[in-house]
Amino acid sequence: MSTYQVPTMAEMVGKGESPEILFWVGCAGSFDDRYKAVTQAFVKILNKVGVSFAVLGPEEACTGDPARRAGNEFLFQMQAVANIQVMNGYEVKKVVTACPHCFNTIKNEYPALGGNYEVIHHSQFLQQLINEGKVVLQGGGEFKGKKITFHDSCYLGRANNVYEAPREVIKALDVELVEMKRCRTKGLCCGAGGAQMFKEPEPGKKDINIERTEEALATGANAIAVGCPFCLTMMTDGVKNKEKENEVKVYDLAEMIAKDMGI
Amino acid sequence: MSFLPQIAFLVILGVAGFILAKRIKFLKRNILLGKAETRNDQTDTRWKTMLLVAFGQQKMFKRLIPAFLHLLIYVGFIVINLEVLEFVLDGILGTHRLFAPALGSVYTVAMNIFEFLAVAVLISCVAFLWRRNVSKVPRFSKPEMKGWPSLDANLILVIEIVLMCAILTMNATDQILANRGDEHYTILGTLFFSSLIQPIFEGMSTGSLVVIERFAWWFHIAGILAFAIYVTYSKHLHIFLAFPNTWYSNLKPKGEMPNMPEVTNEVNMMLGIPSETPADPPAEIGRFGAKDVNDLTWVNVLNAYSCTECGRCTAECPANLTGKKLSPRKIMMDVRDRAEEVGKSIDAGGPGLEDGKSLLGDYITKEELNACTSCNACVEACPVNIDPLSIILQMRRYVAMEESGTPAQWNAMFQNMETSFSPWKFSPQDRFNWADSVKEEQVK
């Protein structure tokens, strides 16, 4: 039996190979304890399916998204230009990431700074793998017949019009997908975008993630599916705040697929 | 036969035209206070967007009841204004119902359509007044709507109701007079809606009816001209500006923030990367980001003048929904108010932009800017493709880069990113540690 492989670009290029995709892990995927599980789940799927991939490993840096949204264009461009130099150095063509913020920034904002890649979100990539029959789901496991609601992340949905891929992935799990009142183009933000993740909210009556969690719980779903590390944190906190953490779990799409595959 | 009415009409028309021309010049100059931006690409998509979103009101139909009522007023506005052509010609030539003889029964059909729309507009306006003042739809009573904005909204509805009443009164009395054999008036076929109110006038003398009919005619045409001028002072400008505003829509993905090339040059220098355009440095680097209206682009200011303060943006804004100060509608109203203030000051020979005030601080506070999650709900919600987020983000750039006025927690995030290339304080050496356990795990 072999172990899972997580090759870096440096290793691959050292061996004279060039992987098909670069898996952009992102800061949350690298450092956030909860989201590291998502990164690991996604890497296991890639291994199982036999996708030729690599990560940047220690050479990866923040895309700069929160700095740009907080107004610090210098810092954003410092991060972006350095990342682009690394990626162009490895002649990266295709990038897959599990973070909608990284996805948006690399896809839409790096071209103006000389970084041109095909960028797809892991929900789109998983959908492709399922459609191509490369990921074969057991259609059972712990999610079978359960009610799942999907929380649209703003940077995937409104920002880039990706609404159906994550839903197709969930539907492939033989579950009942229930929609919140505000979904797709009308989806309510979790409260973390625009660099809000990194500061306390401004004074108000309520925290945004509580408002959204209440809406998610109102669907009667057994689990809340997300496709974004910030949404995962905000919704998990919201469920805890409502003291529902034992009944309602918050999962990333990749985790749900990996669980179904038994890996 | 007196030419007096014709002369009076020409004078009214001339004065209204003169005032309108001045107002349009004023508005155009105010919009162009914004910085240059070229948005002439993808013209096919632009025309299509304008056709669907402005002409076809595509985005209004996310909310069906107001969409239907608004559609009636919109169609009424366009169609009834065809009649204004006849009004103007009648006024100049001293004729009455100039097109009636040539069009015959078609004219009667057209008049019935106009009357139907007039009634539809009237009912819709009453329903809208109800929604604003009786059932109090929440988005119409937010703090930024206090005072003039609410009065403006109600005035528009009342003026439209009065103008529609004038049309119906004119037609009702006109036909009574025609049937009494007054040679000045032409007998048409049945005008369904105005015939319903004829009993009110039937007992009156011919002299009184002529006075009422003429008054209604003059009131309607002068009212329309006055309303056209009023619109230039009002949120109601959307009836014209929705069209250019949608044509100049942002066609890029909503998540994309425009690059700042002036920063790229400096970043490239710092990183020792040869700049692509070294021979062509920007002529003059203004401020980074936006402090005042002239730092925004002209499209941002056009957006502000196109805003009809419907508040769909604010109703969808997660920050506003949870009680934060931010309201995207207020951002748009502030930009317009500031542009108006600067414009008036310039016209009065005043200091204009140098009046010691600015959009940031005097109109929009940092607390509002800092509450935004950049979720694009406001942009998505706007029926005429206004982009409040673009303004918020440009102002954040000013706060961060010119004032270093970002919240302390953001400054800490900046510092983490500078030193360890992550918004959190982790050692960059540990970035790949997540893989250690996976690499030891057996493939199942």
Task: Give me the mean pLDDT over the A88-111 stretch.
Answer: 98
Average pLDDT over residues B387-413: 98
* pLDDT confidence tier of residue B412, bands split at 50, 70 and 90: very high
Tokens of B29: 């100059």
pLDDT at residue B413 greater than cutoff 90: yes
CATH number of the domain enclosing A160: 3.40.50
SS3 of B107, please? helix
Q: Which residue of B has its CA nearest to A188?
A: B318
Q: For chain B, give the longest Cα–Cα distance.
A: 105
- Binned at pLDDT 50, 70 and 90, residue B39 comes out as very high
Rounded CA-CA distance B124/B70 in Å is 7
Predicted local distance difference test score (pLDDT) of residue B444: 81
Which of B255, B367, B430 is closest, CB to CB, to A155? B255
Domain termination site, one of A76, A93, A126: A126
Q: Is B26 strand, coil or helix?
A: helix
- Average pLDDT of chain B, as a whole number: 95
Q: Across the interface, do A44 and B375 touch by the CB < 8 Å criterion?
A: no
Question: Would you say B245 and B301 are in contact if contact means Cβ atoms under 8 Å apart?
Answer: no
| pLDDT tens digits for range B141-163 | 999 999 999 999 999 999 999 99
**Same domain? A152 vs A122:** no
The mean per-residue pLDDT over the stretch B212-227 comes to: 95
Helix (H, G, I), strand (E, B) or coil at A250: strand
Indicate the burial class of A187 (C-beta count within 10 angstroms; 0-12, 13-18, 19 or more).
buried
Considering just the CA atoms, what is the radius of gyration of chain A in Å?
18
Q: If you count residue pairs, one on A and one on B, with CB atoms under 8 Å apart, how many are there?
A: 245
Q: Which residue has the tokens 């009415």?
A: B5
Say what the pLDDT of residue B282 is. 54
* Confidence (pLDDT) at B278: 52
Q: Which of B245, B335, B327, B326 is nearest to B293 (CA)?
A: B335
Q: Chain A: residue nearest B443 by CA? A: A3
**pLDDT tens digits along A140-175:** 678 888 999 999 999 999 999 999 999 999 999 989
pLDDT at B281: 55
B165 burial via Cβ count (<10 Å: 0-12, 13-18, 19+):
middle
- Contact of B262 with chain A, judged by CB distance below 8 Å, is answered with no
Residues A98 and A180 in one domain: no
Does residue A2 form part of some domain?
A: no
pLDDT at A140: 66
Whether A233 and A151 share a structural domain: yes
pLDDT confidence of residue B243: 98
Give me the pLDDT at residue B277, please: 57
Residues 289-348 of B with CB under 8 A from A: 289, 316, 318-319, 321-326
Global pTM reads 0.96
Q: How far is B346 from chain A (nearest CA, A)?
A: 31
Question: Does A150 lie in the same domain as A116?
Answer: no
Per-residue pLDDT tens over the stretch B267-309: 988 888 876 655 555 556 679 999 999 999 999 999 999 999 9
- Let me know if residue A98 belongs to a domain: yes
Please give the share of chain A, as a percent, with pLDDT higher than 70.
99
What pLDDT is recorded for position A53?
98
Q: What is the arithmetic mean of pLDDT over B324-339?
A: 98
Contact A194 B372 (CB under 8 A): yes
Express each pLDDT in B184-214 by its tens digit.
Answer: 898 999 999 999 999 999 999 999 999 999 9
Question: In angstroms, rounded to a whole number, what is the distance separating the alpha carbons of residues B181 and B178?
Answer: 5
Distances (CA, A) of B6 to B11, B93, B207: 9, 7, 21
Task: Give start and end residues of each alpha helix (H) in B32-147.
Answer: 43-49, 64-93, 100-103, 105-133
Contacts of B286 in chain A (CB under 8 A): none
pLDDT at B72: 97
Beta-carbon-side half-sphere exposure of residue B329 (alpha carbons within 13 Å): 24
* Within-domain flag for A4: no
- C-alpha distance from residue B420 to each of A125, A232, B430 (Å): 30, 23, 10
Q: Between chains, do B414 and A70 touch, taking CB under 8 Å as contact?
A: yes
Q: In the structure, what pLDDT confidence band is assigned to residue B19 with cuts at 50, 70 and 90?
A: very high
**Domain-embedded: residue A131:** no
Q: In whole angstroms, what separates CA B162 from the centre of its chain?
A: 23
Average pLDDT over residues B43-57: 97
Q: What whole-number percentage of chain B has pLDDT above 90?
A: 91
Does residue A1 sit within a domain? Answer: no
Residue A109 resides in a domain: yes
Which of B62, B253, B438 faces A159 most closely, judged by CB atoms?
Answer: B253
What chain B residue is nearest to A190 in terms of C-alpha separation?
B318
* Residue A146 and residue A224 in one domain: yes
**What's the CATH fold of domain B286-420?**
Fumarate Reductase Iron-sulfur Protein; Chain B, domain 2 (1.10.1060)
A81, A115: one domain: yes
User: Residue B169 carries which side chain, given as an amino acid letter?
Assistant: T
On whether both A143 and A106 belong to a single domain, the answer is no
User: Are B417 and A75 an interchain contact pair (Cβ–Cβ within 8 Å)?
Assistant: yes
- Give how far the C-alpha of residue B82 lies from the chain's centroid of Cα atoms, to the nearest Å: 23
Please say which residue of A126, A154, A176 terminates a domain: A126
Q: Mark whether A240 and A178 lie in a shared domain.
A: yes
**Quick one: average pLDDT of A110-138?**
96
| B177 contacts B209 by C-beta, under 8 angstroms | yes
Closest CA relative to residue B221, chosen from B177, B178, B173, B166: B166
From A70, A103, A126, the end of a domain falls on A126
Q: Which domain holds residue A146?
A: 137-261
- How many angstroms separate the CA atoms of B362 and A42, rounded? 49
- Number of structural domains chain A divides into: 2
Whole-angstrom distance, CA of residue B72 vs CA of residue B123 = 9
